[in-house]
Structure 1
Amino acid sequence: MQRDPNREKSPLIPESITPNDVDMVVRVQLKTLTPENAEMVARHLAMVSLLIDQDPELAHKHALSAARRAGRIAVVRETVGVTAYTVGDYPLALRELLAHRRISGSNDQLPLIVDSERGMNRPDRALKMAREADRKTLTPAVRVNLAIATSGARLDLGENELALSELEIPELNPAKVFDYSPPLFRAYANTLEILGRAEDAKKWADLAQRAEIALAGKPDDVLEIVEEIEIPKFADRPKFDPTDKPRPSFERKPFENRGTGKSNRGSDGPGKAGRSAPRGR
C-alpha cells in the first residue's frame, strides 16, 4: 500500500524505549489493539513521559502519533489533551480531554478542561464546566487543581473576593502539607496580593516555599508545619464590589499539568498533583 505523502511522519523512537516504560494500567488499555500496534503506541506514550518537560513540542508529536494509531483509546486521547494543553493549543486540549472524559467517565482532568476554557478566554464557560462534577467525589489533588482553576476564572472576570473564596477548601490547611499543598498555598498568596493584603500574602507565600522544601526531603510523607494562620470566613469579608478592577487574563500562570508519568509532585501550577495520564516506571 502506498504511503500518503501528506501524512506527517512519526517522530523516531530510540530502540531502548519499550512498552515496559509505561504503567501496566496503560498497557492493559492497549490490549484491544494488535500486538504490533500496541507496542508502537506504548512506546510513543513512553516518549511523551520522557520529553514533556524538556521538549513539549516533540512530546506532543509523539502523542499525536499515538492517536493516529489508537484514537479510540481513553489514555491516548487524554495524553493528546494534556500535551496540547502544555503547548498552548487549548481548543485541541479541550476537545481531547472532553473525549477522554466521555470514554472513561473520569473527571480527573476536569481542572485542565476548565483551564482550557480560560485559555480560550471563556471564564464563564470555565465556571460552568467546573460545576458539572460533584467535588466530594474527586480526589483531594484534583479538588485542589479545580479550585485553582476556578479561582483563576473568577480573577479573569474581576471577581477577586470570590476568587479567594474558591481556594478556601478543606485542603487549604497550613498545619499539614501534602503534594498538592504548595501550589494551593501559592495561589492563595497570589490572590491575597491582588486584593492588596500584602502581609497575609507574604505569610502564605513563605508557607508555600517551606512546604516545597519539606516535601523535597520527604516526598512520600504527610508533613506537619505548625503555623497559626486563621483563614477568615467568606461571610466576614466585604461583599463583592462590582467596581473591582478586573485583572488581565492569565496573570496567574496556567496549569503546569503534565500527563508524563513522573511522580505527582506539585509545582507552580496545580496540575501535577492530580494528573493521571501515562506514568513511567
Structure 2
Amino acid sequence: MPIPEDVTGEEIDKDVRQELQSLPKTLAEDVAKNLVMVARLIDEDPEGAYGYSRVALRLASRVAAVREAAGFAAYANQKYTEALAEFRAARRMTGTVELWPLMADCERGLGRPEKALDMAGAPEVQKLDKAGQVEMRLVAAGARRDMGQLDAAIVTLQSSELASSSVQPWTARLRYAYADALHAAGRSGEAREWFAKAVEADRDGSTDASDRLAELDGVEFTDALGEDEADDTEAASDDKD
C-alpha cells in the first residue's frame, strides 16, 4: 500500500521504535511507516488502517507493537475474532495486562457477554491502572446490558470515579454510559442530569452527549443551509410568476 511522502516512520512512539530495533534497518523503517499510517487512519478510515496493519503484520509478526496495532485495526473494523487473537498474541509477548479490557470487549462483540463478565472479575483487573479499571467497568456494564440486566449495569457504573468532580480522560465516557443506562431504564430526569455532566467533561467531543441532552430537552436542530436553499427556490418561483 502507498505511503505518503510526509510519513517518515519517525513519528511513532519511542517505545515502539525501540521494539523495531530488533529488525534490519530498512525493514524497521518500512514497518514503522505502516504503523504510522495505522495510527493516522484508524479513526477516520478504519478500513485503510486495517490494510496498513496487515502489511506491518506480514513484515514483522513477531513484534508485539505490530500485533497490538493489528488488533486495534481489526477491532475498529469489528473483526472481533481477529482482534482478540492479535491482542492475545501481544499480551503473550509482553506479559502486560493493558489489553485486558479490549479483549473482554471483543468477547462482547462475539456475543459472549458472560465471558466478558468473567474477565471483569479476574485477578488481571487489579493489575490495571485507573484508566484500565474504568474501561473494564464500562465493558462489564455493557455486558450486563447485553444480557438484559439493565439495573445491574447501572449499579456496575456507580463508583468513586463516577462520583468524582475532577475531570479525567475517562470521565466523559463514564458519565455518558451511566446517563445512557439511566435513560434506557426510563429514569429520564436522572439521565438528563448525567448527560449534562458528561457534556461538561467532554472537552474533545468524544461523545454525542450534547445531542442527547438536547434531545431530552426537546430541542430540534434545523438545517440552516437547507432553509436558505428553500427560500432561494421560493424567491425564484415568485420571480417567474
* Range of TM-score over shorter length: 0.7 to 0.9
**Equivalent position to 1:110, from 100, 103, 111:** 100
Q: Secondary structure at the match of 2:106?
A: helix
Normalized per residue, the structure richer in helix is: 2
Provide structure 1 residue ranges, at least 5 long, that are not aligned to the other structure: 1-10, 217-265, 270-281
Q: Does 1:184 align with 2:123?
A: no
Equivalent residue for 2:207?
A: 268
Give the superposition deviation at 1:30: 0.7
The percent identity for this pair of structures is 38
Query: In 2, distance between residues paired with 1:267 and 1:104?
Result: 29
CA contact (8 A) 1:37 1:69 kept: yes
Q: Does 1:156 align with 2:95?
A: no
Give the superposition deviation at 1:174: 4.3
Q: Which of structure 1's runs of 4+ aligned residues deviate more than 6 A?
A: none
Query: In 2, distance between residues paired with 1:138 and 1:171?
Result: 15
CA-to-aligned-CA distance 1:202-235 (integer Å, 9 cap, x gap): 10111001111xx35xxxxxxxxxxxxxxxxxxx
**What letter matches 2:16 in structure 1?**
V
Q: Whose RCO is larger (CA < 8 A, sep 6+)? A: 1
Give the superposition deviation at 1:162: 1.5
Q: Which of the two has higher C-alpha Rg? A: 2
Q: Rate the CA distance shift 1:133–1:49 in 2: closer, same or farther, 3 A.
A: same
Q: Secondary structure at the match of 1:108?
A: coil
Equivalent residue for 1:144?
A: 134
CA contact (8 A) 2:75 2:83 kept: yes
Equivalent residue for 2:38?
A: 48
CA-to-aligned-CA distance 1:10-42 (integer Å, 9 cap, x gap): x11123211211011110011111111111000
- Tell me the TM-score normalised to structure 1 length: 0.71
Q: Does 1:75 align with 2:14?
A: no
Tell me how many residue pairs correspond in the alignment.
Answer: 208
CA-to-aligned-CA distance 1:173-226 (integer Å, 9 cap, x gap): 3411111100000000111112221111110111001111xx35xxxxxxxxxx
CA-to-aligned-CA distance 1:237-275 (integer Å, 9 cap, x gap): xxxxxxxxxxxxxxxxxxxxxxxxxxxxx8239xxxxxx
Equivalent residue for 1:127?
A: 117
Give the superposition deviation at 1:120: 0.8
1:6-25 → structure 2 map (5 Å cutoff): 11-25=1-15
**Equivalent position to 2:22, from 32, 40, 60:** 32
**Equivalent position to 2:87, from 85, 97, 109:** 97
Give the superposition deviation at 1:49: 1.3
Give the superposition deviation at 1:96: 0.6
CA contact (8 A) 2:100 2:124 kept: no
Query: In 2, distance between residues paired with 1:73 and 1:173?
Result: 40
Query: In 2, distance between residues paired with 1:160 and 1:69?
Result: 45
CA contact (8 A) 2:154 2:181 kept: yes
Provide structure 2 residue ranges, at least 5 long, that are not aligned to the other structure: 209-241
Q: Secondary structure at the match of 2:78?
A: coil
Query: In 1, distance between residues paired with 2:5 and 2:73?
Result: 23
CA contact (8 A) 2:17 2:32 kept: yes
**What letter matches 2:30 in structure 1?**
M
CA contact (8 A) 2:87 2:99 kept: yes
- Tell me the TM-score normalised to structure 2 length: 0.82
